[in-house]
């Protein structure tokens, strides 16, 4: 039976940590099938230019660089499936930016339920039929991709100023616009889930009962037993208390290497936890998230989740 890298988070911490993948010698990231080029990487290469001196039938295309959106995570998109403004609907579908969508609407190129819409601020529902240039815009299929993130890549799909982002690794995975679930620093490696399912992403990252994270941590110095006990008891940070389900030495002879199980998904929570006790994290590798591991994935590689894995994420 082919392994999917899927394991429930109830497995012993030491067993999950033993599944971690070593850094690979692969030539580069798995960018997915060549034929499924992601249009969101390049963005629309053309947009409508309205020339008042010509008839509307003589509109011409001009080249324009795609305008990137703000840096967002999948869980921050909750509500996009509710009634939203038409320009946002077009932007979510990858047609163009919101500002460009306003131009398309004013040019009479967008229809809602068979009627041309030229007013600004119109809202649409998921049940509405929206057409652009006479072609129906289809709602996105839910996608779920897990990446073994390498060090040095920013967990962002839309930061135009970043030199290296995970967009370079999973940008060609699918046609749909997917986002990382929870935040992951540039220096952190390991399991990173992507999806366009905002509701599931929100459920996985909200509150103290979010998805279980299991980390392999290398500290700058051995962790004292007294400090480990403090972590178990719970440390109050500026962002709130940081409850830890389990913490262990990976090797009793090397107390710099720690295994940590935590369900809080706040930004930089693990680094803040150890910094509060005077330790610096030299290596931080997430070996499991919501029961998903990076087994069989070398650094920079990704795969789509199996249906049973998606089902577990939705019903956990």
CATH of the domain at 237: 3.30.2350.10
How many Cα atoms occupy the beta-carbon half-sphere of 284 within 13 Å?
A: 19
Per-residue pLDDT of the chain in tens (316 residues, 90 and over written 9) = 444 444 444 555 655 565 555 444 444 445 444 444 443 333 333 333 334 444 433 333 333 333 333 455 655 555 545 688 898 888 777 677 788 889 999 999 999 999 999 998 899 887 889 999 888 887 667 899 999 999 999 888 767 677 889 988 998 898 788 889 988 999 999 999 999 888 888 889 886 678 899 999 999 999 999 999 999 998 888 877 888 999 999 988 899 999 999 988 888 889 999 999 999 999 999 999 999 999 899 999 999 999 999 999 887 6
Give, in order, the Cα–Cα distances in Å from 13 to each of 130, 137, 204, 292. 49, 46, 20, 13
Q: Domain boundary residue among 114, 136, 158?
A: 136
Q: How far apart are CA 183 and CA 268, in angstroms?
A: 8
CATH of the domain at 65: 3.10.290.10
In the chain, the number of structural domains is 2
Q: Would 187 be classed as within a structural domain?
A: no
Q: Would 194 be classed as within a structural domain?
A: no
Which pair of tokens denotes residue 141?
A: 């299929």
Q: Would 18 be classed as within a structural domain?
A: no
User: How, if at all, do strands 135-136 and 254-262 pair?
Assistant: unpaired
Q: How far apart are CA 195 and CA 144, in angstroms?
A: 5
Q: Domain containing 81: what range? A: 40-136
Q: Would 129 be classed as within a structural domain?
A: yes
Give, in order, the Cα–Cα distances in Å from 247 to each of 195, 232, 274. 29, 7, 12
Q: Would 199 be classed as within a structural domain?
A: no
Secondary structure, 3-state, 228-239: HHHHHHCEEECC
Q: Would 310 be classed as within a structural domain?
A: no
Chain CA centroid to CA 21, Å: 21
Q: How far apart are CA 97 and CA 120, in angstroms?
A: 15
User: Which pLDDT belongs to residue 39?
Assistant: 37
Give, in order, the Cα–Cα distances in Å from 249 to each of 66, 171, 220, 270. 48, 37, 14, 16
Q: Would 169 be classed as within a structural domain?
A: no
Give the residue among 215, 178, 220, 172 at the shortest CA–CA distance from 195: 178
CB of 147 closer than 8 Å to CB of 163: no
Question: Strands (DSSP E) along 142-266, which ranges?
Answer: 144-149, 179-180, 189-195, 213-219, 235-237, 240-242, 246-251, 254-262
Q: How far apart are CA 171 and CA 168, in angstroms?
A: 6
Q: Domain boundary residue among 136, 162, 180?
A: 136
Predicted TM-score (pTM) above 0.85 = no
């Amino acid at each position: 039976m082919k392994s999917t890298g899927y394991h429930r988070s109830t497995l012993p911490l030491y067993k999950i940590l033993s599944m971690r993948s070593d850094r690979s010698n692969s030539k580069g990231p798995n960018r997915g099938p060549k034929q499924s080029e992601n249009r969101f990487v390049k963005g629309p290469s053309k947009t409508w230019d309205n020339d008042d001196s010509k008839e509307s039938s003589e509109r011409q295309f001009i080249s324009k660089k795609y305008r990137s959106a703000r840096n967002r995570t999948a869980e921050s998109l909750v509500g996009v499936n509710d009634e939203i403004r038409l320009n946002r609907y077009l932007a979510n579908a990858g047609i163009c930016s919101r500002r460009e969508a306003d131009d398309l609407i004013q040019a009479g190129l967008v229809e809602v339920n068979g009627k041309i819409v030229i007013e600004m601020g119109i809202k649409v529902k998921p049940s509405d039929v929206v057409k652009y240039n006479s072609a129906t815009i289809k709602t996105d299929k839910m996608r779920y991709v897990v990446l073994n993130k390498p060090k040095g890549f920013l967990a962002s799909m839309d930061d135009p100023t970043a030199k290296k982002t995970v967009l370079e690794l999973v940008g060609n995975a699918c046609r749909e616009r997917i986002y990382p679930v929870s935040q992951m620093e540039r220096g952190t490696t390991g399991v990173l889930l992507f999806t366009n399912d905002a509701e599931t992403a929100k459920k996985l990252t909200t509150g103290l009962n979010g998805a279980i994270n299991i980390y392999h941590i290398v500290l700058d110095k051995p962790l004292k037993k007294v400090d480990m006990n403090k972590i178990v008891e719970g440390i109050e940070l500026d962002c709130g208390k940081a409850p830890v389900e389990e913490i262990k030495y990976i090797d009793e002879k090397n107390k710099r290497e720690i295994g940590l199980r935590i369900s809080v998904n706040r930004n930089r929570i693990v680094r803040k936890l150890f910094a509060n006790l005077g330790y610096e994290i030299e290596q931080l590798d997430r070996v499991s998230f919501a029961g998903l591991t990076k087994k069989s994935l070398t650094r920079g590689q990704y795969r789509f989740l199996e249906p049973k894995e998606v089902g577990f994420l939705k019903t956990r």
